[in-house]
Structure 1
């Protein structure tokens, strides 16, 4: 698996350097997510499943039982 080198911090992390942020990078076919305080642990996915997850979070559907 190719590990990207172009990590971007979340805009919710603020502009300061530190280890309190989510970072995202992409390769031609995958998206990589990690926390800056544990950069060796990555979540690897593709756009469609990530889109479904974000929609569920935004709509509140994931908190319903």
Structure 2
């Protein structure tokens, strides 16, 4: 999988955030501090709705 971190990730080694990987139908999320542990997989529309909700809340 091609994992990526947020551009808002902190300094240093940047491993105090979550990472996501995309497929056609799913978004997979993992903790960058322990990448070998469990991941969370959600449908693309559900993840998009979550991101939009966060954007609205943070304004």
- Is the pair's TM-score, using the shorter chain for normalization, greater than 0.5? yes
Cα RMSD of the aligned pairs, angstroms, is 1.8
Q: Which has the higher strand share?
A: 2
Q: How many aligned positions are there?
A: 56
Give the TM-score normalised by structure 1.
0.67
Where does structure 2 lack aligned partners over 5 or more consecutive residues?
none
Deviation of residue 42 (structure 1)? 1.1
* CA radius of gyration, larger in: 1
Where does structure 1 lack aligned partners over 5 or more consecutive residues?
61-65
**Distance (whole Å) between structure 2 residues aligned to residue 34 and residue 19 of structure 1:** 11
Q: Which has the higher helix share?
A: 1
Give the TM-score normalised by structure 2.
0.71
